Structure 1
């Protein structure tokens, strides 16, 4: 029983990261209604940027470790805001009313550019952060086996959960949330009612991009490194994971993604880990087939 509890807790951190990514993705996709492959690129680019900025702050600026981590986080989130604003105005707004294939092709190009920028900036080297806040917190023990999570896992989970809850409350009780739902349902009718649909569109994509950037920072802080190709892997994964809860409902998307993260951890604890992604993708594919007639079922074309 304790072993199962440990595997369940192992999935809490992944569930929080997936949930934050899915919430931000659905927030933008509810208005865009197009596949955004650049989202994973923003996630990986910001995580890699945080590491590179921290390395620069520590080696060149001689900052202390807490100061250099804060410096790296600030730079990464600034890049997340910059790229989100740039994408919403230069890519999504001009192409939103055209063929879905235009958005897919454009965001795939952006993903590749971000991956290459990360690789070139790091000179194709992997930089690692030192282990931080890795002290285990014991939740249960029978003397020979202890159920634990590290402090960094607890902090990351709390931050991701707080952002998701804040975002869900904002959508449920604020003017922006009401406007977002109106634009997501019928942008033309919302515009006739006096809603600034362009403002809502850009704000939603900005907040979604910041969710991706924050998730990248949290992942980099925990793992110590985020590879150049992580953007493609996470971009495709979050594309399908979000479908578990609903592409146009950020709160449900976050819950579905969190359930996927927990399932991934349980699989890794009981079955061969090399088959984990194959089986999880197979499960997602089966769910997409079963929900293929739903309004919010995803589509790449």
Structure 2
């Protein structure tokens, strides 16, 4: 009874934390009404409206009409004192619509500009490199903490790596879930991430077609579609490539998962076409956190959401493996499948559930890729899957916490290498690290010294 009470108490605590994080995300989402692309385009009109003047943006806020925003700024010319002015920009759409950055109206304190002037401004200024480079930037923040230059640059790289580490961690743990239970490596998880990406775009498209341009609704539909697509394809594909192949050697199953990977790749090519469909960026306006002279340490809201989603999924998975009947059954079969079967654990059903759970994690990682980077092609999941497999091996492929740690290490390694060393040698160094770990510590950082789960 005390054990059940303890598990119930832990479950309530986990759900409270999850509810709190979701509430914060929703509140932040409601407050992020200024689209970064729209704000950039509206700011870029200011030099054209004030030739030769020094522009200082003071504040950006919602406009008086739907799909509009107001930029308050000051313009200082050499021959007159600074003037406080404003401009109101109106756009064709908002949210996840592809034409949300199309400027359809422009007005100042002197009134709206004519259609001909707006056409000339858009096509002969805003769409040129000079117009793009003329953006005066976001409002300054004088209250930022001043940091040493080297530390500020290092901190910026660490913040940039957060979404990447979340993606690799979820993909790495998918490998660990299946390998820890069955001793088999499923090489199709990268393609399952691509399937999750395609489902994310489809879910967002359904929301847009229905007339709702809310980013939160689009992301919610994409999340549900990605997890379902990843779980379904993983359970069905894993049944034929892992569950049905009962040979003592793991090589036949490994070869079968290679075939599954190629099948999913071609399947996605036929379903979504070879052309990658990109979602427009949302919540991409940088939040300044600190500075080192003119160098700003910043973080975008979407990066916070991506990293936070990965963290919530990782914590939920750790709780699932530690405090539920599924987790106890998984650990029992991983230790000794025959003894677990004698105690009443249904091994085939548990394997199907594990395949679905691992596929859901892979699909979720694909959703995070779309949210953070805009899209993923039908063949783009291969590199993600390969690097996540390296992360699982480095962290301990039979260990769920180890795989999460390995994914974090891989994401941080890629970011730090790209920041300080030639990017051409990054992947070579990463693949070489796999050989080093397989030679000196085949069980990974948190795994066992053996390459397979321990014998009981």
TM-score normalised according to structure 2 size: 0.62
**Separation in 2 of the partners of 1:175 and 1:122?**
38
Q: Does 1:296 align with 2:451?
A: yes
Total equivalences in the alignment: 297
2:273 to 113, 117, 123: 123
Q: What does the per-residue CA deviation read over 1:114-151, in whole Å, with 9 as the maximum and x for residues that have no partner?
A: 11122222222121110111121223223411111211
2:420 to 267, 270, 286: 270
1:239 to 381, 389, 405: 389
**Separation in 2 of the partners of 1:121 and 1:56?**
16
The offset of 1:238, in angstroms, is 1.7
TM-score normalised according to structure 1 size: 0.91
Larger mean CA deviation between 25-34 and 210-219 belongs to: 25-34
Quote the residue 1:165 is aligned against: 315
Quote the residue 1:230 is aligned against: 380
Unaligned runs of 5+ in 1: none
Unaligned runs of 5+ in 2: 1-150, 444-448
**Separation in 2 of the partners of 1:273 and 1:220?**
23
Q: 1:117 to 1:154 in 2, by over 3 A?
A: same
Quote the residue 1:216 is aligned against: 366
Q: 1:68 to 1:160 in 2, by over 3 A?
A: closer
Contact 2:163 2:372 survives alignment (8 Å) = no
1:258 to 386, 391, 408: 408
**Separation in 2 of the partners of 1:76 and 1:27?**
19
Q: Hey, which of these two has a bigger chunk of helix by percent?
A: 1
**Separation in 2 of the partners of 1:73 and 1:99?**
36
What stretches of structure 1 move > 6 A for 4+ residues in a row?
none
Contact 2:189 2:362 survives alignment (8 Å) = yes
The offset of 1:285, in angstroms, is 1.8
The offset of 1:250, in angstroms, is 0.6
Q: Does 1:281 align with 2:436?
A: no
**Separation in 2 of the partners of 1:252 and 1:144?**
39
**Separation in 1 of the partners of 2:315 and 2:451?**
22
Contact 1:54 1:71 survives alignment (8 Å) = yes
Q: What SS is found at the alignment partner of 1:228?
A: coil
**Separation in 1 of the partners of 2:200 and 2:322?**
32
Q: 1:71 to 1:232 in 2, by over 3 A?
A: same
Quote the residue 1:2 is aligned against: 152
Alignment of 1:56-205 (within 5 A): 57-58=207-208, 60-66=209-215, 67-205=217-355
The offset of 1:209, in angstroms, is 0.8
The offset of 1:200, in angstroms, is 2.1
The offset of 1:61, in angstroms, is 4.1
The offset of 1:208, in angstroms, is 0.9
The offset of 1:98, in angstroms, is 4.4
Q: What SS is found at the alignment partner of 2:298?
A: strand
Q: What SS is found at the alignment partner of 1:225?
A: coil
Q: What SS is found at the alignment partner of 1:139?
A: strand
Contact 1:288 1:297 survives alignment (8 Å) = no
The offset of 1:56, in angstroms, is 5.5
Q: Hey, which of these two has a bigger chunk of strand by percent?
A: 2
Instruction: Name which structure has the greater RCO, CA cutoff 8 Å, separation 6+.
Output: 1
Q: What SS is found at the alignment partner of 2:275?
A: coil
The offset of 1:205, in angstroms, is 1.6
Contact 1:22 1:242 survives alignment (8 Å) = yes
Q: Does 1:50 align with 2:205?
A: no
Contact 2:275 2:377 survives alignment (8 Å) = no
**Separation in 2 of the partners of 1:55 and 1:43?**
18
Contact 2:194 2:376 survives alignment (8 Å) = yes
The offset of 1:210, in angstroms, is 0.4
2:356 to 184, 206, 210: 206
Q: 1:281 to 1:4 in 2, by over 3 A?
A: same
The offset of 1:97, in angstroms, is 3.9
Contact 1:91 1:106 survives alignment (8 Å) = yes
**Separation in 1 of the partners of 2:352 and 2:168?**
23
